[in-house]
Amino acid sequence: MNGSLPNGVEIAINIKNRCRALKKTIPSVCEEAKVSYDSYKNWRSGRIEPRIRSVQKIETVLKAHEQSGEGMGHATNQNDQA
C-alpha cells in the first residue's frame, strides 16, 4: 500500500514512539487529548480505524509537548543562550 494513508496500526505505532520519546504514557496523552485509551488499543490491534478527529486531538497534544521540548533531551535555555 505504498502512497496510501497510514492505517490505524501505523498511526498507533507512531503515537507510541512519540510518547516514548517524550517520556509520556499513552494513556496520559489519550486522557489529555480526551480520546479513549480503549480506542487507541483498538487501532493498535487493527480492530478499527481511527477517526480523523481523534488522531487530530492526539496530534495536537503531542505537538504541544514536542514544541515545549519535554522529554526530548534538548539543551537547557541557559545553554541555548550561550
Amino acid 22: pLDDT: 95
Q: Is residue 33 one of the residues assigned to a domain? A: yes
Q: Is residue 81 one of the residues assigned to a domain? A: no
- Check if the beta carbon of residue 30 is closer than 8 Å to that of residue 62: no
3-class SS string, 3-63: CCCCCHHHHHHHHHHHHHHHCCCHHHHHHHHCCCHHHHHHHHHCCCCCCHHHHHHHHHHHH
Q: Whole domain around residue 66: which residue ranges?
A: 8-70
What does the pLDDT profile of the chain (82 residues) look like in tens digits? 455 667 899 999 999 999 999 999 999 999 999 999 999 999 999 999 999 999 999 999 999 999 988 765 544 333 333 3
Amino acid 73: pLDDT: 52
Count CB-CB contacts under 10 A for residue 82: 5
CATH number at residue 25: 1.10.260
Q: Total domain count for the chain?
A: 1
Amino acid 10: pLDDT: 93
